[in-house]
Structure 1
Amino acid sequence: MNFEGICAIARRVGWGAANILVEQSRNFEVEKSGDSPVTSADIAANSYILEKLQSVFDPQTFGYLSEETYQSEPAEVRLSRSWVWIIDPLDGTKDFINRTGEYALHIALAYQGRPVVAIVACPAVGKLYSATLNGGTWVETQNGDRHPVKASDKSNFEDLTVVASRSHRDVRFNQLMEQFPVKQQRQIGSVGCKIAAIVEQQADLYLSLSGKSAAKDWDFAAPELILTEAGGQFTYFDQSPVQYNRQDVSQWGGILASNGKIHRQLCETATDLVAKIDQ
């Protein structure tokens, strides 16, 4: 597989979907409300991404795991494929609805459960991040400017900034953050925008801790590769790699994303604190 060629196609698809989200942000319908809302923008962007990708990447070879359609597709199909596209057409729907601008779209190609090509677009600020396995991470704007990005080299707890959600916080997560040694905090919506902040050196650390529900594959697959190819690390709290395209698409437990400089210490600290919280 030519990852650079695949990435070029995914970048074009990403820009097309980003333009749809920007247009829809002016006038959209909320199709489903609640904790996991769905808008007409989610549906429109999802249809566009699937149509464009499937016209190039044969569904007989490539599986497709998308937030908006996975429940209507037999899991056996994607589980039988080594190559699977993992798609979130609108990451941060609540932020989209509230017009904070902190929403993103994710497109990742995974091989045997690990991402090898990734796109994270932040439409409201006109940026698209792309990465290929061993090819680095790049940011571009629609006028053609494109350059590599790297996570920070900060390596002291007191110098780090953690990026967190405004809304996806339960009691356990709040307890974890209260006791965590990294005290500087930025609040940003959507995982894609959080990871963008880390590779732009505006933050250094992100934590996810499942509660009654958990983040899903499409929340993390693309952001992971964007971060790791920019020098960061993205693992479960036990430092094992995150696995995608399993029967259960929920990512239970703790996940930590960092600039990579003291990742082990951060993971060990998070593990110890969660164990005390759960006692």
Structure 2
Amino acid sequence: MIEQIKLIAHEAGKAIMDIYAKDFAIYDKSDSSPLTEADLAAHNIIVDGLAAISTLPVLSEESASIDWETRQQWDEYWLVDPLDGTKEFIKKNGEFTVNIALIKHGQPVLGVVYAPALSRTYWGSLEDGAFVEDDSGIKAISAAPHQAGDTWKVVGSRSHQSPEIKAFLDELNGDVELVAMGSSLKLCLVASGEAHLYPRLGPTSEWDTGAAHAVALAAGANVTVLDPDNPFDSDPVPLTYNQKESVLNPFFLVSAK
């Protein structure tokens, strides 16, 4: 099934790139804009593609109005963000993604993250491990634990750091290097061993993280709920999905085990 999901993601990415190639200014998502057009085009391709291979329900950013009474009956479903990284899309820096995840009993068990402008695909499942494919080919990836004396590589914002993030970084022993990246690719940096940590102390929705979360777990990383008042809690709680009415995630930390 993973190959079918990759194909669907690539088809959605192709539709996005057709629109991304246009010359456009900055638009809001509420406008009839290239961003909205790309989002909806990718959504429709993904939903149709999944319907052709599966009878499971789909929760997408573009179908977020599905009520909790319905969603709480789902033990297994597809979680989709057809275009994550709206700022990156508008800025045309390429760091936006197509995201498709399979959720079972609140856990992401399979995920595909495709960055069409970068020609890069991450995928992973708990059974088969995690992989990345780009112009150089396919390779297995795994999270890399921090070693004593090494510089901490922490995924962070391209712009200013919030006071909460600064406080988190101050608690780390040793030098810290910030690694900037957009969209769900942030989680993939930890999954691929290019960073040790990704603390998220800001709002995200479940569709923003599901696919990359699956890749991270398949690569041997942890994704745990982060208490901003006690970020180094010794008893971490895994981040889960579709366990409450709100689709907003709590703060979380992606880390190598």
Does the 8 A contact of 1:197 with 1:203 survive in 2? yes
1:107 is aligned to 2:100: yes
| TM-score, normalised relative to structure 2 | 0.84
Match of 2:13 among 18, 39, 51: 18
Tell me which residue corresponds to 1:264: none
Aligned residues: 243
1:39 is aligned to 2:66: no
Does the 8 A contact of 1:63 with 1:77 survive in 2? no
The change in CA–CA distance for 1:26 and 1:216 in structure 2 (over 3 A counts) is same
- 2:104, 2:193 → 1: CA distance? 29
Tell me which residue corresponds to 2:229: none
1:68 is aligned to 2:66: no
Higher share of residues assigned helix:
1
- 1:88, 1:95 → 2: CA distance? 15
Match of 2:113 among 99, 117, 120: 120
Residue deviations 1:1-46, cap 9 Å, x none? xxxxx22211111111122222221126845269xx9532111111
Tell me which residue corresponds to 2:148: 156
The change in CA–CA distance for 1:160 and 1:171 in structure 2 (over 3 A counts) is closer
Amino acid at match of 2:57: G
Note the 1:203-242 alignment, pairs <5 A.
203-210=195-202, 214-237=203-226, 238-242=235-239
The change in CA–CA distance for 1:68 and 1:167 in structure 2 (over 3 A counts) is farther
Amino acid at match of 2:21: R
- 1:33, 1:174 → 2: CA distance? 33
| TM-score, normalised relative to structure 1 | 0.78
5+ long unaligned stretches in structure 1: 1-5, 261-279
5+ long unaligned stretches in structure 2: 227-234
Match of 1:195 among 179, 187, 190: 187
Does the 8 A contact of 1:84 with 1:245 survive in 2? no
The change in CA–CA distance for 1:92 and 1:178 in structure 2 (over 3 A counts) is farther
